[in-house]
Amino acid sequence: MKRIVLMGNPNIGKSAVFSRLTGADVIISNYPGTTVDFSRGRACLQGELVELIDAPGTYSLEPTSRAEEVAFEVLGWADLVINVVDATNLERNLYLTLQLLEKNKPMIVALNMWDEAERSGITIDTKGLERLLQVPVVTTVALTGEGINGLVNRLKDASTPTETKVHSEEEMWMEIGRLTREIQKVTHRHPTAWDKLSQATIKPLTGTPIALMVIFATFWVVRFIGEGLISNLFEPLFELYRPLAMSISNWLGPGLLHDLLIGGLIDGEIDYIQSMGVLTTGIYVPLGMVLPYIVGFYLALALLEDSGYLPRMATLSDNVFHRLGMHGHAIVPLFLGLGCNVPGALSTRALETKKQRFISATLLGLAVPCTAKSAMIFGVLGPYGLSYVASVFATLAVIYVAVGLLLNKVVRGVSPEIFLEIPPYRRPNIFMVLKKTWMRIKWFLSEAIPFLFLGVLMVNVLYATGVIEWMGIVFAPLMEGWLGIPGEAVAVLLVGFFRKDLAVGMLLPLGLDPRQLVIATTVLSLYFPCVATFAVMIKELGIRDTMKSIAVMVATALLVGGAMRFALLG
| Side chain identity, residue 451 | F
Listed as ranges, residues in the chain with pLDDT below 50 are: 30-35
pLDDT (0 to 100) of residue 31: 47
* 145-163 CB burial, b ≥16 within 10 A, e <16: eebbeebeeebeebeeeee
- Say what the pLDDT of residue 98 is: 93
Q: How far from 167 is each of 36, 85, 98, CA to CA, in Å? A: 29, 20, 9
Single pTM value for the model: 0.64
- What is the reported pLDDT for 419? 59
What is residue 396's predicted lDDT score, i.e. its pLDDT? Answer: 94
Query: What does the pLDDT read at residue 338?
Result: 79
Q: Torsions phi, psi of 3, nearest 5?
A: -110, 125
What pLDDT is recorded for position 32? 47
93, 233, 295, 329, 432 from 439: Cα distances, Å = 28, 21, 11, 21, 11
Domains and CATH numbers, the chain: 2-186 (3.40.50.300), 206-568 (no CATH)
DSSP for 441-453 reads HHHIIIIIHHHHH
Q: CA dihedral defined by 506, 229, 531, 495, rounded to 10 degrees?
A: 10
pLDDT digits (tens, 9 = 90+) for 37-79: 778 888 888 888 899 999 988 988 988 777 788 889 999 999 9
What confidence score (pLDDT) does residue 557 get? 92
Q: Cβ-count burial of 23 within 10 angstroms (0-12 exposed, 13-18 middle, 19+ buried)?
A: exposed
H-helix segments, 140-203:
148-153, 169-183, 193-200
pLDDT of residue 433: 85
